[in-house]
A and B are shown apart, each in its own frame.
Chain A
Amino acid sequence: MHRTAPYILLIVLALLQIFLFNNLAISTYFSPLVYLIFLVMLPLETSGIAMLALGLITGMMMDYTMGTAGINTFSTLFVAFFRRNLISLFANREDLRDEGIPSPARMGVLLFWSYAIAMVLLHHTIFFVMESLSWAHFGRTLLRILLSSAGTLCALYLTEQLFTPKLSKHA
């Protein structure tokens, strides 16, 4: 259960992204990329090469279905590669020994959310800047990044509420 949970999550998130969020027509400024939650929730002990491979798979899958040539792959690989560095940016050495799926219960509320917000912001920034491909309307791109990140983070919060209570009991 504990090992396979993130992969079940990937399937659910991919389906949500493809069939719900990609078709969601609320505003140009709001297009959350919820598939990123999968990478945020991967167990901390996941090796570098496995992170890279999973980042590549998710990125390519999303590029394929969203018709964005390479943008998803680029941004997803980027955060997958630097995930460990992002966590150590906020954590002390002792906190880092922990294994298992990242959660507020395991890592502490402050550390978990600093890590999650940094991850989502970094990913969305790369994605939307590459998508608009100009600094001319940076204010507008910034708004898209912030609103969409907020959407993704809300989805992450809900996922945490749904999944982690069960997982921490088993772990």
Chain B
Amino acid sequence: MRKLIEFIRSTYVAVLFVLLELIALNYYAHSTAYTEARLVARSNQVVGGLQHAVSEVRLFFGLGRRNQALTARIAELEELIAHYEEAATEKRLKATNKSLGASKWRMMAAAVVSNTVGKQHNYIVLNRGRMDNVYGGMAVTTPEGAIAGYVIDCTERYAVAVSILNTAFRASGSIEGSNYYGSIHWEGRSSRFVTLSELPKYANPTPGQRVVTTGFEPYFPQGMLIGTVEEARLDEVGTSYTVKVRLAADLQSMSDLVLIDNLDQLELEDLSRSEAIRELEF
């Protein structure tokens, strides 16, 4: 008996070590992008306040640059409005306008609380949460309209988005003006490039062409800018291209972002879960 106690005393640290390592490993093995985002969201409730203060200081020094960007954007939009006003005088457009109905997209501005680019799984924390009607699945874009990620989880006052610089990020993208599409993902290397793979050979991408969203995912509207083609490589079999895409969004210095809400999303989700479709699957 005494020998047993002696044995336990001499090895309990090692046993405890192995046990703790197993628990950590088990937790890691069962983690997903969602559980990671949940961790970020929870810890943000604790450090969020201070994080926010820090980002506020950073924001202050960027005010001049942001003002310029805003002015440029206003000018751009005014030009668009002028264009529409001109067209609106024509009766023909008045008739089509009526049938368009309300837009299904709702936009909302949000400020970045914290954002990483150095890890393999990067997340963006935004200062909008459930209180502002933010929910998982909303698109996150830069004010210029380039995609940056999508919201995966929120707390009352904050939202966590999967950055496009997250190896778990998936979306589909196509060359602007063509119907061929491939899948967009990040290789975990440079924060300026993502990869568009499995693009059919007929798409024939050339450097400089714009890569846009396809609208297949409910959260990204169709035709949102992802980036431009940097270089394209045909695979060995010669059936599809792997395209290196230069991101339009500068993920390293983001201060304001736009959240896009698809008002039809819940309805679409309901539809995809409908009885008729489920019956078909069985």
Contacts and interface: CB of A to CB of B under 8 A. Distances in A.
Nearest to A133: B120
B124 to A, nearest CB: 11
Contact of A69 (B14, B21, B35, B47): B35
Interface in A101-157: 130-132, 137, 140
B253 interface: yes
B58 to A, nearest CB: 9
Interface residue SS majority, chain B = helix
A10 B188 CA distance: 30
Contacts of B17: 52, 77, 81
A28 B194 CA distance: 13
A56 B12 CA distance: 16
Nearest to B39: A67
Interface in B150-169: none
B247 interface: no
A70 interface: yes
Given A24-B118, A65-B47, A74 B13 contact: no
Interface string B106-120: 000000001111111
A58 interface: no
Nearest to B41: A67
B118 A78 contact: no
A71 interface: yes
Contacts of A27: 118, 191
B204 interface: no
B280 interface: no
B117 A28 contact: yes
Interface residues of B, number: 42
B208 to A, nearest CB: 25
A162 interface: no
How many residues of A sit at the interface, in one of the four size bands? 35 or more
Contacts of A48: 13
A168 interface: no
A31 B118 CA distance: 6
6 contacts: A25-B191, A28-B190, A67-B39, A69-B28, A70-B31, A74-B28
Interface of B: 12-14, 16-17, 20-21, 24-28, 30-31, 35-37, 39-40, 42-43, 47, 50-51, 54, 114-121, 123, 187-191, 251-253
Given A28-B191, A56-B20, A67-B37, 8 more contacts: A25-B118, A28-B118, A28-B190, A49-B13, A64-B42, A68-B119, A69-B28, A81-B13
